[in-house]
Chain A
Amino acid sequence: QVQLVESGGGLVKPGGSLRLSCAASGFTFSDYYMSWIRQAPGKGLEWVSYISSLSTYTNYADSVRGRFTISRDNAKNSLFLQMNSLRAEDTAVYYCARGDMNAFDIWGQGTMVTVSS
């Protein structure tokens, strides 16, 4: 079935780095834009970044631009988010999501990132 599975979350100190991964299955990964979306504890949803199907286009929220880098490996059906210079306010559940029909139609279960000393 169509599925997205995130991994790579954990506890990291302020200023540290973390790399998230998202494994896709059940669909032709290379046909779709993919995004990362996060949700701080008890808060709403915040779009973080997207990447086009062939990695031609990327975009970032202002809150992460210059610190986070999105990438993908279509041969391995995988999406990545490299997070550098992490701050306490980056603490959140990070979801990967597929873009289709001008919406996010498939979501992973999320991976928790905690930035704390």
Chain B
Amino acid sequence: IVLTQSPGTLSLSPGERATLSCRASQSVSSSYLAWYQQKPGQAPRLLIYGTSSRATGIPDRFSGSGSGTDFTVTISRLEPEDFAVYYCQHYGSSPTFGGGTKVEI
């Protein structure tokens, strides 16, 4: 399964809303779709699992949705610490990652 993320880069200001998309090459179970945040020089951090469940400690300004082939993560109001790269991921028998969306100021 190939995951295609869009846009490649999102240029926004603090306080704005960010919408990141992930499209799968074929329908996937929503149970197996996750999102990660990665900041420069750091390991990725799990944000969302099962399409819409926030991981431990993730603030509620992050939300996930979608089904079938189209999935989205939304950051309702960008905080300075949210500027990072975001990856979607399918947890199948051979897990795959999308190419990433960079959210920049």
Pairwise interchain contact A61-B49, C-beta atoms closer than 8 A: no
Pairwise interchain contact A47-B95, C-beta atoms closer than 8 A: yes
Q: How many A-B residue pairs lie within 8 Å, measured between CB atoms?
A: 59
Which chain B residue shows the least CB distance to A99? B91
Partner of A105, one of B55, B87, B96: B55
Main secondary structure of the interface of A (DSSP, over half): strand
B-side interface size class: 20 to 34
Contacts of B91 in A (CB 8 A): 99, 102-104
Q: Is A82 an interface residue (CB 8 A)?
A: no
Pairwise interchain contact A45-B93, C-beta atoms closer than 8 A: no
Pairwise interchain contact A101-B43, C-beta atoms closer than 8 A: no
User: Which residues in chain A, 27-82, are within 8 Å of chain B measured between CB atoms?
Assistant: 35, 44-47, 50, 59, 61
Pairwise interchain contact A47-B31, C-beta atoms closer than 8 A: no
A107 to B32, CA, bound (A): 18
Q: Is A109 an interface residue (CB 8 A)?
A: yes
**Best-buried of B44, B46, B95 by chain A (most CB within 10 Å):** B95
Pairwise interchain contact B50-A61, C-beta atoms closer than 8 A: no
CB contact under 8 A between A59 and B100, given known A45-B87, A109-B43: no
Q: Is A108 an interface residue (CB 8 A)?
A: yes
